[in-house]
Amino acid sequence: MKSGNIYMDNCITTAPAPEVLKEMKAYLTDGFWFPASFISTGESTAEAVASFRQAVADSLNASPDELHFTSGGTLANNISIKGVTLSRAVRGRHVICSVVDYPDLLTNAAFLEKIGFEVSYLEPDAQGRVSPQQLKDAIRDDTVLFMTTIVNHVVGTIQPMREYRDVLRAAGHKIHFHADACQAYGKLPLDVKELDVDTLSVSAHKIHGPQGIGALYVKHGTKLEQIIHGVKRIDGLQPGGIGIALMAGFAKAVELTFADLEGGIRHLRGLSDYLLEQLEARIPEIELNGPRGEGRACHNINVSIAYIEGEAVTMMLDLNGITVATGSACASQGLKPSYVLLAMGKNHVQSHGSMKFTLSRYNTREEVDFVVEKLAEITAELRSRSPLYKSTHPEER
């Protein structure tokens, strides 16, 4: 296979499906109007938006009036977290999350601390899993919110959501349950009624939809303080304009993803298992970060390669037309060690030597073979330059 554009950083964003772009085009030209009453253009858009909302709601087993479009997963998280804590501040000012949660949740936790809330940060085990017992032990009489990331964005660990649900049900008082599902959406079945979450965020661009559009599920009867104010165009929780074309693209991406969710999961699981098998067969002293098998999301493989820097490998793969990530996608810009890997007990060397491959339905085995071949060559080249590697492997001098 020749070098080309091979994209394996689908954790951060995915390529819009051709069908999504086609669906959006009509709403960028003739159907750009906002919803309105009494006029044909506005009424036709209102009907379209209702169908888009229904499609996303169905994918979560939610009612359409529980589904709110937002300008992305980050805004959905903010609307939920700030909305619920501000509405419940008189009842209690204690919040629980974990140190391996997505930055959306952690930065909101830091904000809450600044305005007088207390936050308990749960620790993961060596696989990145946060135990339900820790949650149970952290609950207090003044706890008002537990928030979690269903699938870890760095190592793909799936958190025990049903066990969390059971702990919260037995708490003795109502604790709002918020889930960031942006990495989980389209990678495992999500049923908001079974999970019994109060709010849950998803994002279109993680499932081959457009960037700039997400959604927030809000369970019937849940009160959120308004944190954004303005004229209502599409939704009361996020006033102002939200792109009709973006919603159309989101709905089409949902249609494509959920038409055969189980088949899509099988494809990604098989491809990621094959990738890991080839990496371990071709590259000595490589270590998987996070759990094997069903304990991790079907699209995520994160490994540490001894004696090399992940940043160097990423750049060299890029020269071969291959896009991957190193460490945490949200920490690598500053070349910092991944806070998730450090919390799991990895050291700075293991973190800096980590590589994250996140696959999509558009990746193939041929691409995997090419990537592994190039990575093996690059690893051997970098190790040949490493004094530390040479000193610990004298037989290879």
Residue ending a domain, choose from 240, 258, 276? 258
Separation of alpha carbons 153 and 98, rounded Å: 13
The reply to whether 87 falls in a domain is yes
Examine the residue annotation and report whether 330 is marked as an active-site residue of this protein. yes
**Among residues 258, 276, 298, which one ends one of the domains?**
258
Residue 39 pLDDT: 57
Q: Number of folded domains in the chain?
A: 2
Q: Do 155 and 179 fall into the same domain?
A: yes
Q: How many helices (H) and strands (E) does the chain have?
A: 14, 12
Strands of the chain, DSSP E: 6-7, 67-70, 94-98, 118-122, 143-149, 176-180, 199-203, 214-218, 286-288, 300-305, 322-323, 354-358
pLDDT for position 384: 87
Query: Which one of 11, 182, 298, 330 is the catalytic residue?
Result: 330
36 by Cβ neighbours in 10 Å (0-12 / 13-18 / 19+) ranks as middle
Give the orientation angle of helix 310-319 with respect to helix 365-384, to 10 degrees: 120
My answer on whether 191 and 49 are in the same domain is: yes
45: left (phi over 0), alpha (psi -120 to 50) or beta: alpha
Strands 143-149 and 94-98 come out as: parallel
Looking from the CA of 392 toward its CB, the CA atoms found within 13 Å total: 9
Task: Report yes or no: 250 and 210 within 8 Å, Cβ to Cβ.
Answer: yes
Q: Do 288 and 353 sit in the same domain of this protein?
A: yes
pLDDT of residue 38: 57
Q: What CATH number does residue 109 fall under? A: 3.40.640.10
* Helix, strand, coil content of the chain in percent (nearest 5): 45, 15, 40
Same domain, 10 and 50: no
Q: Which of 232, 258, 284 is the last residue of a domain?
A: 258
Looking at the structure, do residues 97 and 159 belong to the same domain, yes or no?
A: yes
46 belongs to a structural domain: yes
The domain in which residue 323 lies consists of 6-14+261-396
Query: Both 236 and 312 in a single domain?
Result: no
Same domain as 275, residue 236: no
What pLDDT, on the 0 to 100 scale, is given for residue 41?
65
Instruction: Look at residue 158 in the predicted model and tell me its pLDDT.
Output: 98
176 and 284 belong to one structural domain: no
- Same domain for 283 and 239: no
If the chain, 397 residues long, is cut into consecutive pieces of 10 residues, what is the mean pLDDT of each piece?
Answer: 78 96 91 63 79 97 97 96 94 97 97 97 97 98 98 97 98 97 98 98 98 97 90 79 92 98 97 98 96 96 91 91 75 68 90 92 97 95 81 73
Q: Are residues 174 and 244 in the same domain?
A: yes
According to DSSP H, which parts of 154-260 are helical? 161-169, 192-195, 244-258
Q: Kindly tell me the sign of the dihedral angle through the C-alpha atoms of 110, 112, 116, 120.
A: negative
With respect to residue 1, please indicate whether it lies within any of the assigned structural domains.
Answer: no
Residue 376 CB contacts under 8 Å (≥ 6 apart), including other chains: 282, 283
CA dihedral (244, 44, 69, 239) positive or negative: positive
User: Do 96 and 241 have their domain in common?
Assistant: yes
- Quick check: is 150 in a domain? yes
Measure Cα distances from 257 to 112, 160, 317, 347 in Å. Answer: 35, 24, 29, 37
235 and 313 inside one domain: no
Give the CATH number, domain containing residue 273: 3.90.1150.10
- 45 Cβ neighbours under 8 A, 6+ residues apart: 31, 33, 34, 35, 36, 244
Tell which phi-psi region holds residue 340, choosing left (phi > 0), alpha (psi between -120 and 50) or beta.
Answer: alpha
Decide if 219 contacts 200 (C-beta within 8 A): no
103 found inside a domain: yes
